[in-house]
């Protein structure tokens, strides 16, 4: 796509030391880090349909090259991830140039993203999409026992591949609670119900930016995205916070707050 190529060149000329995006080499989509305008990779840069948590690479890149400025291609979800990661001291937004891509109508509908476009759009047209609530509604229509049974059935398919965690743009812990033998018994498949999945859901609360990569990655088709989406609803409802919004907003689980905040919370 010539547009992206031009932009990459522009950014490299305009102060970015490298541009991180995806390339499509004969159908194989891979991340590409382009450091100069003569790079052969430039020919293959592609917005494409594929998605990849580039933020995970950026964390390492920024740590390794603290003096360099990076430009990165972002969709709406990528931008939300980078914003949230910056609050968690993993990404330095000051050393980052985001080049926004709006997802196409088909992409947006297929994905079910709450905001399929970034703040500044360099490529594509902004379209709105409605995030699916079918699974949440279905679960909420059930009584306690049925709910538990429903989830148990879903989670019983889990083969503990950790795909959901490994693809997650928001996961960066060096030691993962999912591998803590006190919480999740090693060598048991499916993993302990419900601790394995609720631990991940809790860790995602106030952090998940609803990209849906986890569900895409799950070989067992567990409706993970709905679970985490519900956690964000809870977070917004109870603590008035949704991950990936503005840089200024702070996650209430990450600061103490005032007595007034708590009194308000308790009165609800």
Partner 1 sequence: MADKKQSKKAGSEAAEIRKPVGAVMVVGGGVGGIQASLELANMGYKVYLADSSPSVGGVMGMLDKTFPTNECSMCILSPKMVEVASNINIEVITLADVLSVEGEVGDMRVKLRIRPRYVDIGKCTGCGDCTAKCPVKIPDPYNAGLDTTRCIRVPFPQAVPGAAVIDPEVCRWLTKEKCGNCVKVCQAGAVDFDQKEREETFQVGMVIAAPGYRPFDAGRKTEYGYGVNQNVVTSLEFERILGANGPTQGHVVRPSDGEEVKKLAFVQCVGSRDTTVGNGYCSSVCCMYATKQALIAKEHLPGIEPTIFFIDMRAYGKDFEKYYTAAESRHGVRYVRGLISGIRERQRTKNLLLRYADEAGCTQEEEFDLVVLSIGLEAPCGLKEGLGLEVNEYGFAEADPFLPVLSSRPGVLVCGAAQEPRDIPDTVTQATAAAGIASQALHGARNTLLTRREHPPEKDVGGEEPRVGAIICRCGSNIGGFVDVPAVVEYAKELPGVVWAEERLYACSQDAQDWIRQVVEENGLNRLVVASCTPRTHQPLFRETLQSAGVNKYLFEMANIREHCSWVHMQEPENATRKAQYLVKMAVEKARRLEPLVEGESGVIPRGLVIGGGVAGMNAALNLAASGFQVYLVEKEDELGGLARNIHFNLKGEDVQAYVKELADRVEREELITAFTAHEIVDVGGFVGQFKTLIRDAEGRETLLEHGAVIVATGGGQYQPTEYLRGEDGRVLTQWELEKRIAEKDPALADVERVVMIQCVGSREEERPYCSKVCCTEAAKNALALKELSPRTEVFVLYRDVRTYGFREDIYREAREAGVVFSRFDDDVRPDVRDVAGTLQVRVPDANLAGEMVVLNTDLVVLSTGITANPDNAALAPMLKVPRNAEGFFLEAHMKLRPVDFATDGVFVCGLAHAPKSIEESVSQAAAAAARAESILSKDKIVTEGVVAVVDADKCSGCGICLQLCPFEAVTYDEEKKVAVVNTSLCKGCGTCTAACTAGASRLQGFRSDQIFEQIEAAASAWRE
Partner 2 sequence: MAEESKKNDEEDIRILAFLCNWCSYAGADLAGVSRFQYPPNVLDVRVMCTGTISPYFVIKAFQEGMDGVLIAGCHIGDCHYLKGNYMTAKRFQVLREALKFLGLEEGRLRLEWVSAAEGEKYADVIRSFTEEVKALGPSPLRGKKAAKAEVGA
Contacts to partner 1 by CB under 8 A: 63, 88-90, 172-177, 180, 182-183, 203, 253-256
Q: Which does 173 bind (CB under 5 to 8 A by kind): partner 1, partner 2, none?
A: partner 1
Distance in angstroms (rounded) separating the CA atoms of residues 82 and 88: 10
Q: Which is nearer to partner 2, 177 or 220 (CB)?
A: 177
Confirm or reject binding of residue 150 to partner 2 (CB under 8 A).
Answer: yes
CA 241 to chain CA centroid, nearest Å: 16
Cα distance between the two ends of the chain:
52
Task: Choose between 2 and 267: whose C-beta lies nearer to partner 2.
Answer: 267
Gap between the Cα atoms of 42 and 84, Å rounded: 29
Q: Count of residues for the chain?
A: 268
By the rule CB under 8 A, 182 interacts with partner 2: yes
Does position 194 interact with partner 2 (CB under 8 A)? The reply is yes
CB-wise, 30 or 265, nearer to partner 1? 265
95 binds, among partner 1, partner 2, none (CB under 5 to 8 A by kind): none
Q: Which of 227, 242, 243, 244 binds partner 2 (CB under 8 A)?
A: 227
Residue 90 or 154: the one with the smaller Cβ distance to partner 1 is 90
Residue 21: name the closest of 65, 63, 54, 70 by CA.
54
- Residue of 29, 50, 33, 49 whose CA lies nearest to 41: 33
The distance of closest approach from Cβ of residue 180 to partner 1 in the complex, given in angstroms and rounded to an integer, is: 7
Q: Using CB atoms within 10 A of its CB, is residue 188 exposed (0-12), middle (13-18) or buried (19+)? A: exposed
Q: 76 contacts which partner out of partner 2, partner 1, none, CB within 5 to 8 A by kind?
A: none
Is residue 151 within 8 A of residue 194, CB to CB? The reply is yes
Sheet holding 28-34, edge to edge: 28-34, 18-25, 70-74, 96-100
Residues within the interface to partner 2 (CB under 8 A): 139-140, 142, 144-151, 177, 182-183, 192-195, 198-199, 201-202, 205-206, 227, 230-231, 234-235, 237-239, 252-253, 256-257, 259, 261-263, 265-266
């Amino acid at each position: 796509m010539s547009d992206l190529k031009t932009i990459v060149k522009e950014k490299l000329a305009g102060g970015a030391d490298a541009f991180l995006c995806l390339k499509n080499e004969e159908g194989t989509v891979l991340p590409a880090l382009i450091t100069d305008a003569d790079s052969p990779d430039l020919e293959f840069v592609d917005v494409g349909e594929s998605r990849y948590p580039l933020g995970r690479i950026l964390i390492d890149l920024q740590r390794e090259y603290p003096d360099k400025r990076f430009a990165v291609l972002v969709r709406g979800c990528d931008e939300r991830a980078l914003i949230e990661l910056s609050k968690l001291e993993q990404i330095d937004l000051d050393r980052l140039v985001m080049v926004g891509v709006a997802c196409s109508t088909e992409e947006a509908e297929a994905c079910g993203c709450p905001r399929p476009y970034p703040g500044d759009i360099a490529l594509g047209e902004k379209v709105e999409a409605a995030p699916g609530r079918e699974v949440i509604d279905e679960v909420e229509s059930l009584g306690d026992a049925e709910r538990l049974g429903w989830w148990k059935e879903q989670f019983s398919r889990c083969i503990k591949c950790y795909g959901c965690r490994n693809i997650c743009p928001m996961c960066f812990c060096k030691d993962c609670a999912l591998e803590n033998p006190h919480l999740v018994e090693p060598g048991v498949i499916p993993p302990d119900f419900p601790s394995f999945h609720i631990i991940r859901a809790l860790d995602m609360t106030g952090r998940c930016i609803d990209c849906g990569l986890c569900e895409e990655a799950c070989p067992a088709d567990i409706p993970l995205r709905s679970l985490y989406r519900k956690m964000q609803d809870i977070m917004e409802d109870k603590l008035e916070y949704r991950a990936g919004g503005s840089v200024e907003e702070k996650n209430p689980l990450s600061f103490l707050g005032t007595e007034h905040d708590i009194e308000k919370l308790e009165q609800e």
